[in-house]
Structure 1
């Protein structure tokens, strides 16, 4: 049944607002505090202006996010919808074990825990799926937790991934503005480029079978490892 105020195939007002909330940097999960290797790329001289930052983040979208976190979130959305917490737990384990650096693992665990805390204060704190997510050891991970939040909001998988992707893009645009640094107009152009590429990347993530999921970006992993011990930094390790 289409929710009141919604057109067929489009989210209703309440769902849309919930997705906007989930994608917002104001969501108290700390996504804004990470640069995901970008700060180290700036430090090493690989990124130094708007064009380089845009190219870097588009590559990160297609080689990293699309093939790993967004593909996982799509599968986790299906698992939570079906009431299959064991499948969601397997995806959670995949996220943790596929992280190539301690920094990336700690980020996904911290953001996952924070989102669980936020959901506990939401409209469905007694949802047994939330209890299952909170029990994932040693921690729930960000894409698996986000998938449950989107399911609770009534969003389908495509809507969920668009929100997840735009939240990532906005955080990275803000990181580029601080680290490169970029002016506000340049950061908005960068965000526009990421937003333009996002729908096609989401379709690719939705179509990614389990055997094609991967987290393999060697240069990004090296930069993340360097960032863990970088002497001067703005962003969290």
Structure 2
């Protein structure tokens, strides 16, 4: 298996988590749009606090656990992990977010890397694809969680609005947390899954009936 210092590995991962990779991440806000609409997030500090909570106590950590679990099993065992990942989605739009992005990711992986993987929720899709393509788990997970942070920061830049420089400052400030989560979550069992991002989850439900919106979640 390739090591995480292999330039070819890093360039492949950079391709997978590039904004150019066609998963439609730009069209999802994870419920952030509803919070901005209600005036609960309107500054870079408020966004940074919300993002840190989502990373540490919500989908960020859970996604790393799902990604790791999918990486370690055979294809025959992916369906059970994927079903659990879908069940953990707290709203219909959050389910759409992970299923649509995962489906798009898998279609591209199958077309470009000739893998023949089934449709999967996004973190499960990434874990399964990394194993199938012989990419190491740790750098895959670090790039995944950084991509998650970057995509939602891009949404915040458009919604709050934040300046481009403020957005990059937020990403830099939260990057150490991404590393901490990878250090702790990649060896965590599925039994350790859990979330306490109740306000973020409620916001994703409220977004479903929001009158005017730019994002699909």
Question: What TM-score comes out, normalization by structure 1 length?
Answer: 0.86
For each residue in 1:157-205, what CA deviation from the matched residue of structure 2 results, as whole angstroms up to 9, or x when unmatched? 2111101111101101101100100011101101111222211111121
1:37 is displaced (CA, Å) by: 1.1
Given that 2:53 and 2:197 are in contact with CA atoms closer than 8 Å, whether structure 1 keeps it comes out as: no
Does 2:80 match 1:90?
Answer: yes
Q: In structure 2, the residue corresponding to 1:214 is in which secondary structure?
A: coil
Paired residues for 1:45-194 under 5 Å: 45-79=39-73, 84-123=74-113, 125=114, 127=115, 130-131=116-117, 133-134=118-119, 140-194=120-174
Quick check: 1:177–1:187 contact (8 Å CA) kept in 2? Answer: yes
Q: Could you tell me how far apart the structure 1 residues matched to 2:28 and 2:189 are?
A: 29
Distance, in Å, in 2 between the alignment partners of 1:216 and 1:97 is 16
Shift of 1:216: 4.4
- Once residues 68 and 224 of structure 1 are traced to their aligned partners in structure 2, the CA distance between those partners, rounded to angstroms, is 17
Do 1:67 and 1:208's aligned partners in 2 also have CA atoms closer than 8 Å? no
Change (3 A) 1:161 1:151: same
SS in 2 for 1:68: helix
Two-structure CA RMSD over aligned residues (Å): 1.6
Larger radius of gyration: 1
Secondary structure (helix, strand or coil) at the match of 1:73 reads helix
Report the CA distance between 1:207 and its aligned residue. 2.8
Cross-structure match for 1:29? 23
The runs of at least 4 consecutive aligned structure 1 residues that moved more than 6 Å come to none
In 2: Cα distance, 1:97 partner to 1:231 partner: 27
Contact 1:40 1:226 in 2 (8 A): yes
Aligned residue-pair number: 217
